[in-house]
Amino acid sequence: MSQGAGAAIFGCAGPALDRNEAAFFRDADPFGFILFARNVANPDQLRRLTDDLRAAVGWQAPVLVDQEGGRVQRLRAPFWREWSAPLDQVAGLGLQAAARALWLRYRIIADELRAVGIDGNCAPCVDVATALTHPFLRNRCYGDDPATVAFLAQAVVAAHLAGGVLPVIKHIPGHGRAVADSHLALPVVAADAATLEATDFLPFRSLVQAVHPPLAMTAHVIYDAIDPDQPATTSRAMIKLIRTSIGFDGLLLSDDLSMQALAGEIGARAALARAAGCDIALHCNGDLAEMPAVAVAAGTMTPASLTRAQAALAARRAPEAVDIARLAAELSGMQGGQENG
């Protein structure tokens, strides 16, 4: 991979790329981009934007989005399907039926994303829901049992890859016990290490062993029993655990550096995430004034990170041929016609 050696992924400010953003991206050489609702107007506009982002860096850089469905979906009606929350999607279904429903759901989502030049989706959420999981996350989960979550996440990973979209598993090593919203505050999880290993960390380990997902995103969460001082994103101990105990060997992205769970100025956040072992610093808010500090602090990928990046890109393949209308009809039948589109 001769391009994209900058160890960052950036957002942009609006529905069109301006010349200052394009010039910065050309010089910064980021690994890729991430889009949000502010970047989305209609399919033709979105396809132009993804083309322009790639033209700015001169190669087929990955373009990511959060299209989980439910509250967290950036592409919405009237141009794209509306989806229920993932936890609602699987409610009342047996395990095999739930896995099929999620495969259908995310294979359809992958088709919609590829049509507008998006080839990465920040899903599945492999977090285990609890009675106390913060509402910002709870219904984005797939269940409250680690084995169930792992099994269903496998279906989601498979659906994305079949649709030519790279899945980004999150929030490794597990966000479900957090009772604070990490967009607004730093969650602290007080569970002991044995409990974390048997619950929160388990579905990630199982998923990694089963399907070797190409990318993952960290949790901005302190796990008191392992590192009481730093959230996983900036903790050497937690990144070591992700690499060794959980066994994830793919490309590791920080969660958004702009979130208020992290302290300090934006460049320092990027530097801490990279020093802890994140391969990529993720900067989402589209504020061009902040991006140079992130680019400098993130630097370029190490040889090990480049190897992981190349492996992730190698998993990005042409979609398998499929009849989307037939898949949508099957899913609608499973759900009593509740999904739109």
Total domains present in the chain: 1
Residue 341 inside a domain? The answer is no
Residue 97 inside a domain? The answer is yes
Round to whole Å and give the CA distance between 1 and 244.
26
Token code pair at residue 120: 């990465």
Structural domain boundaries enclosing 167:
6-334
SS3 315: coil
Residue 150: which CATH number? 3.20.20.300
Q: Among candidates 159, 175, 86, 169, which has minimal Cα distance to 127?
A: 175
Q: Among candidates 262, 155, 147, which has minimal Cα distance to 211?
A: 155
What pLDDT shows up at residue 336? 63
Round to whole Å and give the CA distance between 37 and 163.
22
pTM, rounded to two decimals: 0.96
Backbone angles phi, psi at 303, to 5 degrees: -55, -40
Mean pLDDT of the 103-114 span: 98
140-158: per-residue pLDDT in tens?
A: 999 999 999 999 999 999 9
Residue 264 inside a domain? The answer is yes
What pLDDT shows up at residue 1? 47
Place of tokens 């100025």: 265
Round to whole Å and give the CA distance between 10 and 2.
19
247-258: per-residue pLDDT in tens?
A: 999 999 999 999
Round to whole Å and give the CA distance between 163 and 330.
17
SS3 56: helix
What pLDDT shows up at residue 43? 98
Task: Report strand pairing: 67-69 vs 72-73.
Answer: antiparallel
Round to whole Å and give the CA distance between 208 and 243.
11
Token code pair at residue 162: 């079949």
305-323: per-residue pLDDT in tens?
A: 999 999 999 999 999 999 9
User: Any bridge partners for residue 167, and if so which?
Assistant: 121
Contact 210, 173 (CB under 8 A): no
Place of tokens 């790639």: 54
Residue 340, pLDDT > 50, answer: no
Share of the chain above pLDDT 70, in %: 98
Residue 132, pLDDT > 50, answer: yes
What pLDDT shows up at residue 95? 97
Residue 72 inside a domain? The answer is yes
Contact 132, 79 (CB under 8 A): no
Alpha-carbon distances, residue 91 vs 71, 136, 176 (angstroms): 17, 18, 18
Round to whole Å and give the CA distance between 1 and 116.
24
Round to whole Å and give the CA distance between 156 and 104.
9
Round to whole Å and give the CA distance between 41 and 50.
13
Residue 69, pLDDT > 80, answer: yes
Mean pLDDT of the 190-198 span: 97
Band (338; pLDDT cuts 50, 70, 90): very low
Residue 339 inside a domain? The answer is no
275-295: per-residue pLDDT in tens?
A: 999 999 999 999 999 999 999
Backbone angles phi, psi at 252, to 5 degrees: -105, 120
CB neighbour class for 135 (10 Å; exposed up to 12, middle 13-18, buried from 19): exposed
Q: Hey, which residues are catalytic here?
A: 183, 255
Mean pLDDT of the 122-146 span: 95
Residue 78 inside a domain? The answer is yes
220-248: per-residue pLDDT in tens?
A: 999 999 999 999 999 999 999 999 999 99
Backbone angles phi, psi at 300, to 5 degrees: -105, 160
Residue 258 inside a domain? The answer is yes
Q: Give the mean pLDDT of the chain.
A: 96
Euclidean distance between the first and final Cα of the chain, in Å? 38
Q: Which residues contact 287 (CB under 8 A, 6 or more apart)?
A: 13, 258
SS3 312: helix
Residue 1 inside a domain? The answer is no
Q: Among candidates 200, 210, 203, which has minimal Cα distance to 232?
A: 200
SS3 157: helix
